[in-house]
């Protein structure tokens, strides 16, 4: 690394709060599916800012739409209407099949809104509070106090107790573990349709259907967190759309704005009419014209460029090529995932391999300590998958060689 890059990193470590162990690189710009650091070194990007930059970098139409909006107005307030927010909400309804939209600035805030929706819905039904939410082990829903309270990772929660109360954890795909926690106080069952951070665990069709039936029977809200697995990543606009069931409330963010910070929680008409009302919830920035101009353009480009077709095609190819690694290397135990949300499970921590890949010009990320996660831009082609596999295979071989 050059002394200039090292100088910037040293400055960063003096000014930024040390909440991340960052990779030793300063990125400067992106183009398509490639990133460049400040020294001009090129990297193939299989992270896309953690499932955010779905359309790739320097997408001209997207950049132009943002620039045009900046020259009109960036922010007003939710006390007034604005055209990008109206258009974005209509488009989001169309792609999700949900009825009511609340825009947020982040994923965690969308989860907060979903939790408040469920509590208010239950409160309006029986006039009591202290309602319970069932969430899942290995889940990840964000770092704010409410979202953290439903995150099934004790390590993330430990120092910050007490959490918000009356949350219980069941196991994804173990319907009985969910059903056994349901009481008259249960207001919501919340999970990711495909768990991301927690290790790339997809929910099964059977689990989805049985939870849906249980929620219908007991008038409990089924809340799906689609922040990572949504926006086309698994080959349908939202991952639950493959299952023939529909949630009552869902969250979306990450790729929704493709880099402009924006999220949303959405609900059915029925929940919308019987939960949050005027004065119950708000946000200064959420759904501002700039963020919503991004949402509009992203959804438009998804359709125009047949992003879902590409995910289905390239996702299948990625699966096959990752399966080759499972067959080839004893240290690679398993592949899991759907579409362009994939993980391969190692029998050891993967930090060393990811560092090697960075040196070789490939950006990868882990999910937990033993899993390499693949969340590339949704526009990647087979040739990029091949390029990634070549580098990764070399890195695994080298890491293996040094262990012997
Ligand atoms: C990233 C993520 C969040 C949190 O989103 P932020 O924008 O970081 O607050 C919540 N849920 C899931 C499933 C995520 O992947």
- For 166-183, write each residue's pLDDT tens digit: 999 999 999 999 999 999
Position 402 confidence tier, pLDDT thresholds 50, 70, 90: confident
**Tokens at residue 111, please?**
């989860």
Q: 100 with 263: CB under 8 angstroms?
A: no
C-beta of 49 in contact with ligand 1 (< 6 A): no
Q: Using CA of residue 89, residue 94, residue 100, residue 101, what is the dihedral sign? A: negative
- The pLDDT assigned to 280 comes to 98
Whether 210 has a pLDDT exceeding 80, the answer reads yes
- For 272-321, write each residue's pLDDT tens digit: 999 999 999 999 999 999 999 999 999 999 999 999 999 999 999 999 99
Instruction: Taking residues 236-244, report their average pLDDT.
Output: 97
Whether 404 has a pLDDT exceeding 90, the answer reads no
Percent of the chain residues topping a pLDDT of 70: 100
Indicate the pairing of strand 249-252 with strand 221-225. Answer: parallel
**Tokens at residue 14, please?**
């003096």
Whether 1 has a pLDDT exceeding 80, the answer reads no
Residues 6 or more apart whose Cβ sits within 8 Å of residue 352: 399
Q: 389 with 318: CB under 8 angstroms?
A: no
Q: 110 with 283: CB under 8 angstroms?
A: no
C-beta of 233 in contact with ligand 1 (< 6 A): no
CA distance 150 to 162: 12
CA distance 374 to 365: 7
Instruction: Taking residues 261-281, report their average pLDDT.
Output: 98
Position 2 confidence tier, pLDDT thresholds 50, 70, 90: confident
What residues form DSSP beta bridges with 224?
191, 250
Mutation test residue for ligand 1: of 52, 254, 263, 366, the one with most atoms within 8 Å of CB: 254
Closest CA to 396 of 318, 319, 329: 329
- For 141-170, write each residue's pLDDT tens digit: 999 999 999 999 999 999 999 999 999 999
CA distances from 188 to 2, 38, 299, 385 (A): 52, 47, 29, 39
Instruction: Taking residues 337-351, report their average pLDDT.
Output: 98
C-beta of 272 in contact with ligand 1 (< 6 A): no
Position 3 confidence tier, pLDDT thresholds 50, 70, 90: confident
Task: Share the mean pLDDT of the chain.
Answer: 97
Instruction: Taking residues 22-34, report their average pLDDT.
Output: 97
Whether 123 has a pLDDT exceeding 90, the answer reads yes
Q: 349 with 327: CB under 8 angstroms?
A: no
- The pLDDT assigned to 42 comes to 98
Residues 6 or more apart whose Cβ sits within 8 Å of residue 258: 52, 53, 54, 55, 59, 62, 294, 298
Burial environment of residue 221 by CB neighbours within 10 A (0 to 12, 13 to 18, 19 or more): buried
Whether 186 has a pLDDT exceeding 80, the answer reads yes
Closest CA to 321 of 267, 265, 391: 391
C-beta of 227 in contact with ligand 1 (< 6 A): yes
Q: 191 with 227: CB under 8 angstroms?
A: no
- Alpha-carbon Rg of the chain, whole angstroms? 21
Instruction: Taking residues 118-142, report their average pLDDT.
Output: 98
Q: 74 with 290: CB under 8 angstroms?
A: yes
Burial environment of residue 160 by CB neighbours within 10 A (0 to 12, 13 to 18, 19 or more): exposed
* 402 φ/ψ angles, rounded to the nearest 5 degrees: -75, -15
- For 367-392, write each residue's pLDDT tens digit: 999 999 999 999 999 999 999 999 99
What would the DSSP string read from start to end of 141-160?
A: --SSHHHHHT-S-HHHHGGG
Taking the centre of ligand 1 as the mean of its atom positions, its distance from the CA of residue 198, in whole angstroms, is 12
Whether 263 has a pLDDT exceeding 90, the answer reads yes
Position 103 confidence tier, pLDDT thresholds 50, 70, 90: very high
Whether 342 has a pLDDT exceeding 90, the answer reads yes
Burial environment of residue 327 by CB neighbours within 10 A (0 to 12, 13 to 18, 19 or more): exposed
- The pLDDT assigned to 178 comes to 98
C-beta of 104 in contact with ligand 1 (< 6 A): no
- The pLDDT assigned to 182 comes to 98
CA distance 1 to 8: 11
The pTM score is 0.98
- The pLDDT assigned to 401 comes to 87
Position 403 confidence tier, pLDDT thresholds 50, 70, 90: confident
What residues form DSSP beta bridges with 225?
192, 251
Instruction: Taking residues 116-136, report their average pLDDT.
Output: 98
**Measured from the CA of 147, which atom of ligand 1 is nearest?**
10
Taking the centre of ligand 1 as the mean of its atom positions, its distance from the CA of residue 125, in whole angstroms, is 30
Q: 5 with 323: CB under 8 angstroms?
A: no
Phi-psi region of 396 (alpha: psi -120 to 50; beta: other; left: phi over 0): alpha
C-beta of 139 in contact with ligand 1 (< 6 A): no
CA distance 367 to 195: 10
Taking the centre of ligand 1 as the mean of its atom positions, its distance from the CA of residue 108, in whole angstroms, is 6
Distance of CA 148 to the CA centre of its chain: 15
| Letter string b/e over residues 243-255, b meaning 16 or more CB atoms within 10 A of that residue's CB | bebbbbbbbbbbb
């Amino acid at each position: 690394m050059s002394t200039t890059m090292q100088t910037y990193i040293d400055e960063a470590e003096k000014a930024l709060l040390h909440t991340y162990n960052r990779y030793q690189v300063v990125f400067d710009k992106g183009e398509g599916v490639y990133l460049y650091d400040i020294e001009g070194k090129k990297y193939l990007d299989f992270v896309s800012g953690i499932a955010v930059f779905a359309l790739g970098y320097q997408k001209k139409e997207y950049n132009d739409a943002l620039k045009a909006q900046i020259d009109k107005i960036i922010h007003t307030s939710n006390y007034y209407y604005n055209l990008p927010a109206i258009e974005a909400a209509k488009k989001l309804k169309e792609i999700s099949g949900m009825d009511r939209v609340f825009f947020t600035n982040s994923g965690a805030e969308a989860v907060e809104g979903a939790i408040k929706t469920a509590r208010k819905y239950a409160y309006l039904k029986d006039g009591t509070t202290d309602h319970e939410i069932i969430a899942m082990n290995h889940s990840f829903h964000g770092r704010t106090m409410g979202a953290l309270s439903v995150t099934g990772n004790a390590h993330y929660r430990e120092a910050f107790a007490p959490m918000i109360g009356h949350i219980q954890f069941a196991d994804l795909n173990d319907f009985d573990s969910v059903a056994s926690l349901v009481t008259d106080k249960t207001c919501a069952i919340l999970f990711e349709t495909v768990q991301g951070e927690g290790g790339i665990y997809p929910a099964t069709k059977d689990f989805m259907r049985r939870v849906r039936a249980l929620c219908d029977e007991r008038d409990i809200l089924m809340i799906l967190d689609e922040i990572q697995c949504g926006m086309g990543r698994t080959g349908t606009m939202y991952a639950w759309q493959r299952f023939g069931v529909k949630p009552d409330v869902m969250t979306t963010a990450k790729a929704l704005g493709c880099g402009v910070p924006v999220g949303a929680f959405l609900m059915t008409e029925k929940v919308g009419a019987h939960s949050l009302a005027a004065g119950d919830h708000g946000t200064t920035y959420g759904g501002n014209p700039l963020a919503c101009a991004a949402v509009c353009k992203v959804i438009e480009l998804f359709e125009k460029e047949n992003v879902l077709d590409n995910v289905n095609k390239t996702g299948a190819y990625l699966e096959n090529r990752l399966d080759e690694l499972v067959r080839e290397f004893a240290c690679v135990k398993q592949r899991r995932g759907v579409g362009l949300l994939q993980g391969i499970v190692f029998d050891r921590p993967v930090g060393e391999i990811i560092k090697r890949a960075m040196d070789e010009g490939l950006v990868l990320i882990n999910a937990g300590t033993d899993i390499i996660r693949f969340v590339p831009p949704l526009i990647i082609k087979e040739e990029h998958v091949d390029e990634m596999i070549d580098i990764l295979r070399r890195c695994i071989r080298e890491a293996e060689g040094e262990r012997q």
